[in-house]
Amino acid sequence: KQEVTQIPAALSVPEGENLVLNCSFTDSAIYNLQWFRQDPGKGLTSLLLIQSSQREQTSGRLNASLDKSSGRSTLYIAASQPGDSATYLCAVVYSGAGSYQLTFGKGTKLSVIP
């Protein structure tokens, strides 16, 4: 059974700081890994998708890396802003029971202090 862990559970940083969020997974036989953002009381917004054959993906100030063999991914946020405050979730897709299911970590709650 795939398990996804995100550390830390919560993180508070001053505005402008660069930061790294961590995600680890137990089964390296994944198809891809996806990072999401969730604002309080809202749905999930997809940030980045990394295919299993890729090492990293970039979008604006965000950079996600994937090391499938070690079961790890990181989300790097450059020059953090108060608007980045949200919960960040990582999820992996692996084939289970004939479909492609997302297995989520519990998230890292990020607070960027002005």
Partner 1 sequence: SQTIHQWPATLVQPVGSPLSLECTVEGTSNPNLYWYRQAAGRGLQLLFYSVGIGQISSEVPQNLSASRPQDRQFILSSKKLLLSDSGFYLCAWSVDSNTEAFFGQGTRLTVV
Binding site for partner 1 (CB under 8 A): 4, 31-32, 34, 36, 41-46, 49, 51, 89, 91, 93, 95, 97-107
Q: How far is the CB of 107 from partner 1 (least distance, A)?
A: 7
Nearer to partner 1, 18 or 51 (CB): 51
Maximum pairwise Cα distance, the chain: 47
The neighbouring-strand residues paired with 22 are 7, 74
3-class SS letters over 59-86: ECCEEEEEECCCCEEEEEECCCCHHHCE
The neighbouring-strand residues paired with 109 are 10, 87
Q: How far is the CB of 114 from partner 1 (least distance, A)?
A: 27
Nearer to partner 1, 14 or 40 (CB): 40
